[in-house]
Chain A
Amino acid sequence: MNNDETIHMNLYSSKNSIIRLFNVTKRYGAKLALNNVSVDIQPGEFIFISGPSGAGKSTLLRVLYLAEKVSEGQILINGMNLARISASKLPLLRRRFGMVFQDFKLIPGRTVFENVALVLEVAGEKPSYIRKKVMHVLRTTGMDKKANALPPTLSGGEQQRVAVARAVVGDPDIILADEPTGSLDHASAMLVLDFLMAYHKKGATILVASHNLHLLESMVRGRNIVLEQGELVKTSTML
């Protein structure tokens, strides 16, 4: 392959990428949480981000939905440069993402139902649709019986399942899951993973950050990105 062809290939792939990072660096003071990371993710990919604690996995997910700004580099989502997104367009960008936060981020004073429904409310859906859709998702995550419970009264695993339900309820094209199985036993973890796989089959692009290598082994197909001290040290495709 000569040089011209390489450039052509890159252009071609960048056009199709749903997420593209160019030399992304994120600093917290002097600490480099991400160091010159470049990744290209195609629509419908299942990406597994692994690495030791403190490697920058959560940070990588956070910069994608602009919970934080990068210190250097560029991020394109569907060809849209995140650095150029106006404050008024930011909510629209975030509605394209379904997020499972490492610390769940459930509203303690609102019921499980209300927490999940929030995603659809902010998108302006009708109450009747919200009711149906939320109950459906809670059923598939096995949380429908706890719909009226407040998050602080739930176990860690239950809260995590609510967090997963909230991430998928808006049928987002991109799901970012930060340790979505961290508080679960192996069987529940597999269930959550299967659940995410189902959305993957429907066409969603999924990024899962976890240091749980058991999950890796059970993955059917996908790409593994390994971070270490903020640097991308390895990319491997699993078949």
Chain B
Amino acid sequence: MTRYITKALADIRSNRFLNLITIVTISLSILVVSLFLLFFENANRLIEGWNQGGRAMIYLEPAFSQEMLPDLKARIQGLGEVEEMRFIPKSRALEKLKDEMGSHTGFFDTLQHNPLPHALEIRMKTRGDYAQVAAFAKKITALEMVESVEYGQGWLAKFLQIFTLFRITGYAMCGLFLLIALFITANTVRLAFYSRRLEIEIMRLVGATEGFIKTPFYVEGLLQGFFGGILGLLILMAAFLTISSGISGNLGAYVYLDIRFLSIKAMGLIILASTFLGWFGCYLSLRQMLQ
């Protein structure tokens, strides 16, 4: 195997220009793909943190009295998906509201009775998936004594719409760029193959198996994909560090932005994918030519 790698490295060096173009093309595609991944990872983290982590308020009907609480709790628990539940009686809610508004407001003292409903604060097990949360909220709303459920649906729905649009665009762009990279890789292999036609013919004549002939091409494809992936990530990382240090310098004082670079897992996945891409381009090309 080391012999194959040494040979493939020598071949890459001897075909420097062509290989450089291939590696750069792969790295640019990987750059686009990982840029989207970077965006999605950050956006996902943002969504996961929405509503303080899957928190929702269940407002109860005025007819609700505290004796019904154990029964209601049991029914909500019966729906599953609830991690934590806390009853907030309307008196506590009012006190809290008073605190927040400040004691100098005399408004609350004029109230004849407490207009606030009793509420249950829950934390759900599902957090990121908006559709699932919405479905769950609907189930709770259908329960007796439940007036409404508030889980930040307004702004979240809008954000998710934009996010979905982005996601679709992202997938399309990633697919397009990966296809381009695949095409270029396959083409490089084809050119390398043609430039070594005589060599391959001779190898066959002296008894080389197809495996022996193909292996160097595969090793070359794998290495190209691997280096292309690393280069793409390095470019992204350099851009990320430059831009994010600029942002936190200017904006950091006003908003808290928790933007992070790709996780180790995502980076590993990207390099794995680009290595596979190099291999797959090679496979397609050789399969077509050796038929």
Give me the interface of A with B, judged by CB distance under 8 Å: 65, 67, 87-88, 91-95, 97, 99, 101, 105-110, 118-119, 121-123, 127, 166
Contacts and interface: CB of A to CB of B under 8 A. Distances in A.
Contacts of A122: 203, 206-209, 212
B199 A119 contact: no
Contact of A99 (B198, B201, B206, B210): B206
Contacts of B212: 121-122
A107 B208 contact: no
27 contacts: A65-B205, A67-B205, A88-B209, A91-B207, A91-B208, A91-B209, A93-B207, A94-B204, A94-B205, A94-B206, A94-B207, A95-B207, A99-B206, A105-B201, A105-B205, A107-B199, A109-B199, A110-B199, A118-B202, A118-B203, A118-B206, A119-B206, A119-B207, A121-B212, A122-B203, A122-B207, A122-B208
Contacts of B199: 107, 109-110
Interface residues of B, number: 15
B198 A107 contact: yes
A91 B210 CA distance: 9
A87 B210 CA distance: 9
A127 B6 CA distance: 14
In this complex, which of B199, B202, B204 has the most chain A Cβ atoms within 10 angstroms of its Cβ?
A: B202
Nearest to A106: B202
Contacts of B210: 87
Contacts of B3: 127
Nearest to A169: B206
A106 B202 CA distance: 8
Contacts of B198: 105, 107-108
For the complex of A and B, list the 6 residue pairs with the smallest distance between their C-beta atoms, beginning with the closest: A95-B207, A94-B207, A122-B208, A91-B207, A91-B209, A107-B199
Nearest to B202: A105
Interface of B: 3, 14, 198-199, 201-210, 212
A107 B205 CA distance: 12
A121 B207 CA distance: 10
Contacts of B207: 91-95, 97, 119, 122-123
B202 A107 contact: yes
Nearest to A62: B205
A103 B15 CA distance: 27
A75 to B, nearest CB: 17
A153 B24 CA distance: 35
A72 B110 CA distance: 113
Nearest to B201: A105
Contacts of A95: 206-207
A24 B14 CA distance: 44
A215 B156 CA distance: 93
B58 to A, nearest CB: 69
A239 B10 CA distance: 53
B50 to A, nearest CB: 59
Nearest to A88: B209
B28 to A, nearest CB: 30
Contacts of A121: 212
A67 B204 CA distance: 9
Nearest to A92: B207
B36 to A, nearest CB: 42
Given A91-B209, A95-B207, 5 more contacts: A97-B207, A109-B14, A118-B208, A122-B209, A127-B3
A65 B206 CA distance: 10
Nearest to B208: A122
A119 B209 CA distance: 12
B188 to A, nearest CB: 18
Nearest to B3: A127
A73 B140 CA distance: 85
A94 B201 CA distance: 13
A94 B213 CA distance: 15
A67 B212 CA distance: 18
A88 B202 CA distance: 17
A93 B209 CA distance: 11
Contacts of B14: 109
A91 B211 CA distance: 11
Q: Which of A91, A97, A99, A119 has the most CB of B within 10 A?
A: A91
Nearest to A67: B205
Contacts of A97: 207
A195 to B, nearest CB: 19
